[in-house]
Chains A and B, each alone.
Chain A
């Protein structure tokens, strides 16, 4: 491969040698240091390849060994350049494209972020952009060290960070710290209030005065545990406030109501599809030969392909392929059993989606009511979950109680 490249770059000549002692010609050339390759036998003589430098010396050897040679083909770049030497626009075009590609490779065209979890990609990109690293930045202008320090200072939950610019790709790799434990601010007095309606199933107070007990029914917003203690004394009442802390569990009913229709539309793909292309240059979209889709119903999917020279040289050219797939909505009906299964699945999906992860599901009862065209689903989910919520004792309320009557 490399030998081939070298030969093409330096140029070589294919010659046909004829004469009585071609072997002598080969020997002489070889001993004088001319490199010959792919020597093949032809009925009229011998064909061989020789470099341009070697070829210039062959005349003497041919004369001495009484052989004759004819040029059969000239190969390689030097001959190509010679042939096109007068085509100035072609040459300048080639030069221009080389320079252009070189210039493009001096900018960052892709920012890769790896390892972020709690910090979003957008936050990081926005911060990098404010410190001079965005798509299209001249890559030698980026102060790697400074940017690294700035990022570390700005985002406190980064424990390790590396910025690596290779080619036109800027790779930011980071590791986040483990989440900080939530600190309970014990200095601000607060009450515990109910976050939801429910029947108290358990209350465990470590600070504050419980206002409710087991089997009490509470409404959202009711004070469960008070952070205020009022002590009666000779000088009047003295109010002492603490930061109440309590775990309160309550049972509650949640209703999920929905309907499952027995008829539905299914997307039946006709197999017809159309492709349209766009090219995104320097962040701007250019549509190429876009026509009317012409389908009544279709699904569109987009594929991004960034033009890249190898791994490390992504270019600011993104090729977008839009695929439009036609479908026809076909009315279908489902049986009652099928609808029941679907209802069950939908209930479970909604439980997972809507309920708190820590909530215990005590009971689940699903009532189904069949009508000719649909299934009415009523699900009653009984859960046991924490309802305690901190509510700071308001400043105003404190001021009133802080000034005991004199």
Chain B
């Protein structure tokens, strides 16, 4: 992590700014095991009904489950529904 990045992080934390905007972090919202909402993603790497891989600024997010489907796909936001069993950063 560069010095510039570190300063940015400290300011963000001191002022309690939303991190996903200032630091461009992916924001993951999980509703139980049935819906996952991901903001600030880069792109879909793999899509099948049992495994979805989505690249983000902090690496690739792997979602495993059963009968997964992409409920909505827009340029900032992606939402996955189905029986989610595993969420993992790779």
Contacts and interface: CB of A to CB of B under 8 A. Distances in A.
B75 A39 contact: no
B73 A39 contact: yes
A262 B71 CA distance: 78
Given A30-B74, A31-B75, A38 B43 contact: no
B75 A36 contact: no
A123 interface: no
A38 B71 contact: yes
Contact of A30 (B45, B46, B49, B75): B75
Contact of B70 (A31, A33, A39): A39
If over half of B's interface residues share one DSSP class (helix, strand or loop), that class is named, otherwise mixed; here it is strand
Interface string B46-90: 111100000000000000000011111111001000000000000
Interface in A5-42: 22-23, 26-27, 29-33, 35-41
A38 B47 contact: no
A27 B43 contact: yes
B44 interface: yes
A212 interface: no
Contacts of B44: 23, 26-27, 30
Contacts of A41: 47-49, 68-69
Given A30-B73, A30-B75, A39 B43 contact: no
Contacts of B68: 41
B75 to A, nearest CB: 5
A37 B46 contact: no
B70 A36 contact: yes
A37 B70 CA distance: 7
Given A23-B43, A23-B44, A23-B47, A38 B74 contact: no
A158 interface: no
Nearest to A50: B73
Interface string A94-124: 0000000000000000000000000000000
Interface string A333-347: 000000000000000
A381 interface: no
Interface in A32-72: 32-33, 35-41, 46, 48
Contacts of B69: 38-41
A40 B49 contact: yes
Contacts of A32: 75
A293 to B, nearest CB: 59
B46 to A, nearest CB: 6
B43 A46 contact: no
B63 to A, nearest CB: 13
A27 B68 CA distance: 17
B70 A23 contact: no
A333 B8 CA distance: 100
A33 B48 contact: no
Contact of A35 (B48, B49, B73): B73
Contacts of B74: 30, 33, 35-36
Contacts of A27: 43-44
Contacts of B73: 26, 29-30, 35-37, 39, 48
Interface in A263-298: none
Task: Give the residue among B69, B73, B75 with the most A Cβ atoms within 10 A.
Answer: B73
Nearest to B48: A41
Nearest to A42: B49
A22 B43 contact: no
A37 B72 contact: yes
Nearest to A23: B44
B80 to A, nearest CB: 9
B74 to A, nearest CB: 6
Contacts of A30: 43-44, 73-75, 78
Contacts of A33: 74-75
Nearest to A3: B72
Contacts of A29: 73
A39 B78 CA distance: 11
A31 B46 CA distance: 16
Contact of A36 (B48, B49, B72): B72
Nearest to B46: A23
B79 to A, nearest CB: 9
A263 B77 CA distance: 84
Nearest to B69: A40
Interface of A: 22-23, 26-27, 29-33, 35-41, 46, 48
Given A26-B73, A46-B47, 5 more contacts: A29-B73, A30-B78, A33-B74, A37-B72, A41-B47
5 contacts: A30-B74, A30-B75, A35-B73, A37-B71, A41-B49
